[in-house]
Structure 1
């Protein structure tokens, strides 16, 4: 049977670009297949020219446990051209304070190899961009079930401050974005990596499906406030949580 390796993708900043041509590097609102496969390839120490065929059979999906806030960052870029030097601004977008549950479905043997590599990576790991290292723990282990079951059942990974905020705002669903089954109508994303070679980066389209899972079904989403002994009446930290990033980033 198939098993599912679960990852917790969390960091102060993440960036999951699909097309980074030109001077605007955008980010998707959730991790991409190509970004996660890139991280696995780095963990295994594969050279950029290496074939990615070993990853093709993996089914990929993510659950958005804590949606990030999109932020824009800009950099001055310079190019020397003989005696002339040009400068221009490049824009980069990233997600701040996001937490995702990512799942990869495959054979238990291959997933065990991937998990070991993620624990002892050959190259540094990053959440979509070199400047975004993942927070620990990155891997949550291998579940003896298919991707969708694993994504529907795993404990909610959001930060405690976000869980409280979600309750106040009566958020009752999390969104899952996953590879479509062969008989499903999905939407196309150009996000299936064929080659990470810098000479010839190549991505094909994959079909993805978005669906919702009720928070009531997810372990750890009910009454955790009271179990943790937090008063539901008044929390003096609440005033800071929604605005002040510095406090909650240290606290994750």
Structure 2
């Protein structure tokens, strides 16, 4: 099997598994539906083209939480495009300053095509909502003859520099992983309705997916210690 890894980082992210009327929440980590939708958009799969979506939805999915971020709330207003009337006030939640490593496992040929599509996407990727662009290219790499957990153990820690500095005295850090459960893990798994069935605008459909919590240990990069700035040193030199 092969694995395609993605870096999902940006000022804001929103991974909603459900939305009720004017309240749109976010999960604490990227959903499979959103990541598969990102890959489908990069490959030019149109909404409603369930035949092309099916092999993408069959990929095994996992996500590593490198930097959990902070949940924030926003209120948004809008006006009807034709009548100009004000729409109801919308309450939306986001994750700020979060970083994730997502990975999909499956057929090498399919993942090779998706890897190329991410580097030259038909539709630009976004982190759950169109208002949440990624801070960097999402493509991390294409890995042959390996598995999801092996890749998530080997990909370097992707957290921001300021966040890594909080752990600079450690050589390793344990990172949480949410991955699809195997058949023999069903009794220990949670369920999440984020298995994409159709992205058709008139009737989006998602099935339940079993998810287990796991973890991996990765190396903490050695951070270069910045020289301490003492503003009064210049005055001391002059007085000497």
Query: After TM superposition, is the score higher than 0.5?
Result: yes
The match for 1:202 is 205
The match for 2:133 is 133
> Runs ≥4 in structure 1, deviation > 6 angstroms?
168-171
Matches within 5 A, 1:184-203: 184-185=185-186, 186-203=189-206
Bigger-Rg structure (1/2) = 2
The match for 1:29 is 28
Give the Cα separation in 2 of the matches to 1:136 and 1:59.
24
Deviation at 1:159, TM superposition (A): 1.0
| Change in CA separation of 1:158 and 1:205 when aligned onto 2, cut-off 3 Å | same
Give the Cα separation in 2 of the matches to 1:114 and 1:38.
12
The match for 1:38 is 37
Deviation at 1:140, TM superposition (A): 1.1
Corresponding pairs, count: 225
The match for 1:75 is 76
- Structure 1 residues 40-49 or 135-144, which shifts more? 135-144
Deviation at 1:211, TM superposition (A): 1.4
| Change in CA separation of 1:137 and 1:85 when aligned onto 2, cut-off 3 Å | closer
Q: TM-score, normalised by structure 2?
A: 0.86
The match for 1:49 is 48
Matches within 5 A, 1:37-186: 37-51=36-50, 52-78=53-79, 85=85, 87-144=87-144, 145-167=146-168, 172-185=173-186, 186=189
User: Does the CA-based 8 Å contact 1:13-1:96 persist in structure 2?
Assistant: yes
- Structure 1 residues 24-33 or 70-79, which shifts more? 70-79
User: Does the CA-based 8 Å contact 1:80-1:86 persist in structure 2?
Assistant: no
How large is the RMSD of aligned CA atoms in angstroms? 2.4
Q: TM-score, normalised by structure 1?
A: 0.82
The match for 2:237 is none
Give the Cα separation in 2 of the matches to 1:65 and 1:43.
24
Structure 2: segments with no counterpart, 5+ residues:
231-240
Give the Cα separation in 1 of the matches to 2:29 and 2:111.
22
Give the Cα separation in 1 of the matches to 2:229 and 2:46.
50
Residue 14 (structure 2) pairs with residue 15 (structure 1)? yes
| Change in CA separation of 1:155 and 1:20 when aligned onto 2, cut-off 3 Å | same
